[in-house]
Amino acid sequence: MTTQFLDSRLSLNNTYSFGTEPLTTTPTLFGDIGLQTVNAIGTPNASDVRVQLWGMVGVFRSEANTVDIFVERGGTGVIGTGVLIFSLNIELSAGPGHRDLTFVTGDFPPLSDVLTGQIRYTMYISINDETPVTLSGPVTFIGSASAGTS
């Protein structure tokens, strides 16, 4: 069956590069989207849903640290309640300075998730050390869902 567009969503936490929110060692929710899959239900494409996810996180640091970005499928908006589908660990050299961190990932959700009609994806950010890292922005999380094999 031909490729079928299902949905596209955008989560904008911060669209500017002058934020002041400090990151912590506890993963915190910064992106949340629900991708509709209802149009694939009952079609031969239901078993061939694929999701593309990408995002950007702007940070400011003065000292070396490491930033972690996690993406989960499902869950309640609290890290660990969904299925981890992506993890990125980015080392930051000593600053001071701003750095834009970007990522791209994908997911082939199971049919049981597709049949719910909507799949929730969440993005969390944390740091590894207590040295300060500020979420300066921008912070975006974008997803798109399609179905089919050709």
Instruction: Give the model confidence (pLDDT) of 89-122 as tens digits.
Output: 999 998 788 999 999 999 999 999 999 999 999 9
CA distance 15 to 38: 30
The answer to whether residue 51 is domain-embedded is yes
CA distance 137 to 60: 9
Q: Is the pLDDT of residue 19 over 80?
A: yes
In single-letter form, the type of residue at position 122 comes to T
The answer to whether residue 78 is domain-embedded is yes
The answer to whether residue 141 is domain-embedded is no
Q: Which domain holds residue 111?
A: 4-13+26-132
Give residue 14's pLDDT band: very low, low, confident or very high (50, 70, 90).
confident
* pLDDT score at 1: 59
CATH assignment of the domain containing 49: 2.60.40
The answer to whether residue 101 is domain-embedded is yes
Give residue 9's pLDDT band: very low, low, confident or very high (50, 70, 90).
very high
Q: Are 144 and 10 in contact (CB under 8 A)?
A: no
The answer to whether residue 56 is domain-embedded is yes
What is the total count of domains within the chain? 1
